[in-house]
Chain A
Amino acid sequence: MNLDISFGQYCEGKSVLHRMDPRAKIIASVLYIIVVFLAKNLWSFGLLLLSAAVLILASGISPKIILKGMKALTFIIIFTSVINIFWMKGETLLFSLGFVSVYLEGILNAIMIALRIIVLLIGTSVFMTYTTTPIALTDGLEQLLAPLKKLHLPVHEFSMMMTIALRFIPTLIEETQKIMNAQKARGADFASGSLMKRAKTLIPILVPLFISAFRRAEELATAMECRCYTGGDGRTRMNVLHASPKDVVLCILLVLLGMVVIFTNGLGGYSLSW
Chain B
Amino acid sequence: MSTLQKTPIIEIRDLSYAYPTDDGSASSNALDHVSLSIEEGSFVSILGHNGSGKSTLAKMMSLILIPDSGSVMIDGKNMSADDVTEEDILEARRKVGMVFQNPDNQIVATVVEEDVAFGPENLGLPSEEIRRRVDEALSLVGMSKYARHAPHKLSGGQKQRIAIAGIIAMRRRCIIFDESTAMLDPAGRKEVMDTIERLNKEEKITVLHITHYMNEAVRGDRVIVMDGGRILMDGTPKEVFSHPQRLWNARLDVPQTTELLYHLKKSGYDVRLDIFDPGECAAEIAKALGKQ
Contact = CB atoms under 8 A, between A and B. Distances in A.
Nearest to A222: B64
B94 interface: yes
A171 B110 CA distance: 11
A230 B90 contact: yes
Contacts of A239: 114, 117, 127
Interface string B169-180: 010000000000
| Interface of chain A, main secondary structure | helix
A239 B131 CA distance: 8
Interface in B101-136: 102, 104-111, 113-114, 117-127, 130-131, 134
A235 B111 contact: no
B180 to A, nearest CB: 12
A133 B148 CA distance: 12
A230 B89 CA distance: 11
B118 A227 contact: yes
A169 to B, nearest CB: 9
Given A216-B104, A238-B131, A238-B134, A230 B122 contact: yes
Interface string A222-235: 11111111100011
Nearest to A175: B104
Interface in B229-285: none
Given A228-B94, A236-B126, A237-B127, A167 B121 contact: no
Contacts of A227: 93, 97, 118-119, 122, 166-167, 170
A134 interface: yes
A228 B170 contact: yes
A45 B116 CA distance: 47
A215 to B, nearest CB: 8
A185 interface: no
Interface size class of A (residues with CB under 8 A): 20 to 34
Interface string B202-216: 000000000000000
Interface in A186-228: 216, 219-220, 222-228
B130 A238 contact: yes
A237 B119 CA distance: 10
B152 A135 contact: no
Given A134-B110, A163-B109, A216-B105, A236 B152 contact: no
A163 B110 contact: yes
B110 A135 contact: yes
B90 A228 contact: yes
A222 B166 CA distance: 15
A239 B117 CA distance: 9
Contacts of B62: 226
Contacts of B217: none
A234 B109 contact: no
Interface string B123-160: 11111001100100000000000000011100000000
A166 interface: yes
Nearest to A228: B122
A219 B131 contact: no
Given A223-B100, A238-B131, A167 B151 contact: yes
A5 to B, nearest CB: 13
19 contacts: A133-B110, A134-B110, A135-B109, A135-B114, A163-B108, A164-B108, A167-B110, A170-B150, A174-B152, A216-B102, A224-B108, A227-B122, A228-B122, A228-B170, A230-B86, A235-B124, A236-B121, A238-B113, A240-B127
